[in-house]
Structure 1
Amino acid sequence: MNLDDYRGVWVFIEQNDGKIEDVSLELLGAGRKLADKLEVPLGGFLLGNQIRPLANQVISYGADEVYVIDHPVLKDYRTESYMSGVMLLAQKYMPEIILYGATPNGKDLASAVATDLVTGLTADTTMLDVDVDNRLLEASRPAFGGNIMATILCKKHRPQMATVRPKVMKALEPDAGRQGKIIEEKIALNEAEMRTKVLQIVNDVTKKAKLADAHVIVCGGKGLGDLQNFQLIHELAETIGASVGGTRDVVEAGWLPHEQQVGQTGETVTPKIYFAIGVSGAIQHVVGMKNSEFIIAINKDPNAPIFDVATYGIVGDAMEIIPKLIEQFKKLKAEKGGELSYA
């Protein structure tokens, strides 16, 4: 294998029921930067049934080329059928980098493709860059319990592949007038030969809001001391109409359920406003919230790492500061007729 034969940055465009997943659009933004540095085209590859119209959307979000395989057998995701499509494309066009969203389907597909292509795969990446001189993807993620950031290289095999968590990267603003190339490929698939069948797809109809979709989050850490003190986090969140989040230590202590954990082993969030209260700012937490629009940190330790990523910081005792915030927000709500706007 000659590594110089591989060129181009690709993004797996994951779609469900004809709607592109947000993480794929985010990866097009990250992929655009990598492709520009390497001076190669950015490609998106799209598999499904009756999905060709989505190709123009992929171009509007930064792709130069979109590779489309449209087939009835690809209507629903299955490892076997989707892997056949990706293998066809990867072996024919030989991209040097392929990025996937770290979704259940994206992680499943990436690991299967990496096995068949005999190449490396970095999982749950939180930062991406390239060594231009050596054309190496630098995929970074927390390691050793989040105590360090490890940058992983795939020096001897191609394509270089990584899965990236949703909400970590930022999508470009779409440009409806952007021009690109759509390449359609045919594949021979037979439903009768598929080893798995999709019998039913059950949609999640729960009305519980997902933390990742919240516009305002109040996150508490173990610096609050105990569960009784943590109730002030709930009170502040209720006052301002926010969702409640917590660090891993808080979840492990039983103060919050796992679905409210923010960080590498929890949710990645990008709210307009993120309150980090009693949160030290360990790497594994920061990677899950660093792209928030405004980060307001409250901590009595002036050297806490959370202040390095905070937009605004308050050094002091949270048990004295939170009640004052609640009081002021209640006054503001009364002045605004009971509603707070975060537009």
Structure 2
Amino acid sequence: MLAVEHTDGLEPAISASQFQLYAQSIRGWRLPMGRTDALPSGASGLPLRYFTPDPITEIVARCSVAPFQRQHQGNDPAIALLFCRAASRNAAGEVDLLQSNRLCREVLATSQLPMDVPALISLAREIWPATTGLRREISFAGGSTASTATKIYAPHPELPQLMASLAELSHELPAIDPLVLSSLIGYFCANAHPFSDGNGRWSRLVALRISKSKGLVATSINITFQNLLKLGLATKVWPMTHHEGPEKYLRHAVTFEQLISKELSASGLSTISKSITKVISERCNNGKARRDVLLDIYGTGRLSKDRLRSLMPLSERSAANLLLQIEESGNGLLTSSDEILSASLLHRRTDEILRVAAIQTIEQ
């Protein structure tokens, strides 16, 4: 196993030189990730080019790499929670609060593996309630019709086998680095595109659920990378990955994690988040109350005194004191007004770091 330099309180990504060693030795990183089939259009009879990813079990088997040496803080939910809102921004840049809370709950939840296909469909239904099962129609992007689209996803008869492979993977995970695993799962899910809607949000939720046991922080950073750069990945990186393998895609993911690890440590955000989580964990007297308070701060972005009193048997004075203690633990990044605590400064500072890292990743 290759050693890497540690950063303060965060799990560092592999260095560029070490990544190159892996890239040269792992043949699967340079192999196609699926196949393209020309099938006749039901409307015009003209051939349409569908891309179908290989089963995820096969992709992971040939791309697997031993976990990079990381610090134990790599499973610290206090750090992972910082990324949930950024990993939930929609195409307009707005935070999807429902998705943000889903990701926060997943960060805080114990393992729910293995999963079967009905469980995977149930996750999709949580995101898009109209989901009844796997799609039964053509799905495409980059055009108003299939004949003008730049991408046509896997034919729907392929979906049961693809989903079965994802369920199979969740039953027995190999020894693999979490950044690599979550990258491959995110790619597979988004490119299989098994549902009529909500595929992007579902892909990141599935990647988090399956990969977090290998490294919670690395996985959380990676799904944020997949969300913030989703347009560039879908239009530039993944089309190349289809046929050339995931090496360049993984290189972008590694670069993003390196930048985030460095900046979060330098800014003190990781220490501040740990301080906030510590106060909440010590003062909230039951597991559900702790979870819900963390969800309010990191998922929704606000916490009120009345909310505290609804979660725990606190007097007005005790609730006000607890709100003050939580505010003070934020080192100026949590602010209160009218008995409501806001985490907007905390999330804004995190967003600034993520935005800079995204730009620098693209430039590299």
Larger radius of gyration: 1
**Higher RCO, 1 vs 2 (CA within 8 Å, ≥6 residues apart):** 2
What TM-score do the two structures reach when normalised by structure 2?
0.25
Higher helix share: 2
What TM-score do the two structures reach when normalised by structure 1?
0.26
